[in-house]
Amino acid sequence: MGVEIKVEKINAWYGKTQALFDIDLDVLANHATALIGPSGCGKSTFIRCLNRMHETLPGARVTGRVQIGDLDIYKGTSATQLRRRVGMVFQKPNPFPSMSIYDNVAAGLKLNGFSNRKQTDEIVETALKSSALWDEVKDSLHKQSGASLSGGQQQRLCIARALAVQPEVLLMDEPCSALDPISTGKVEELIFQLKSKYTIVIVTHNMQQAGRVAEFTGFFLLGRMIEFDKTERIFTNPSDKRTEDYVTGRFG
């Protein structure tokens, strides 16, 4: 089962420039939560704070508290330990070009010292089935490179790679922005299926997508969380005029 995420007073900086201001957020386990807002409003920075990728940038820092399940991720938890439990899927599919489909999915397992071939075979198959890719690639697992797949298949391969290490949380940063409508539909369908096992946080510019896949939505503006509520309420009866202006297309 997925785990709950509790965020308290998260602030983030790039050098001297503050990108996030006092973000508080509770993400329910086994739900999809969408983050919306105009470009540069802090959505991607926030999601990178949830798996401690933000701090890998020169001059970047974070203050505040993030609890993911039983982990206080900024206190007594190593980034490696955290990333075993929190998977990440990026905007642009990033399969390892020199690796086969099989080796792409198994990469995280090998990185963590997992060497049992029979179990690896089972985990790779399960991850590819979970990402709705198995039937399309099962006959070419070792013959075909991950980079030779179509864009939509590559993104589902990256989802399989994230799932192979059996995380509890799946973070998705604009996972469909580089995909065609058919591939987008497949990934959205996948998100629907995955949230029974995982806690999902998805950054999206596509408000229709947020409406389709997420039970809860947060609206970011200029580094602040303006409003967080059930998705239906955010889109039909928001409590803040800035949210209403954004979702009705008056700006952004």
Give the model confidence (pLDDT) of 75-87 as tens digits.
988 888 898 899 9
CB 158 within 8 A of CB 189: no
5-94+168-247 is a CATH 3.40.50.300 domain:
yes
Question: What backbone phi and psi angles, to 5 degrees, belong to 204?
Answer: -145, 145
Determine what percent of the chain is predicted with pLDDT higher than 70.
99
**What's the pLDDT score for residue 84?**
85
**What's the pLDDT score for residue 76?**
86
Query: For the packed helices 117-130 and 101-111, what is the interaxial angle rounded to 10 degrees?
Result: 120
Is-above-0.85 flag for pTM? Answer: yes
Quick one: residue 80, left, alpha or beta (phi over 0 = left, psi -120 to 50 = alpha)?
Answer: alpha
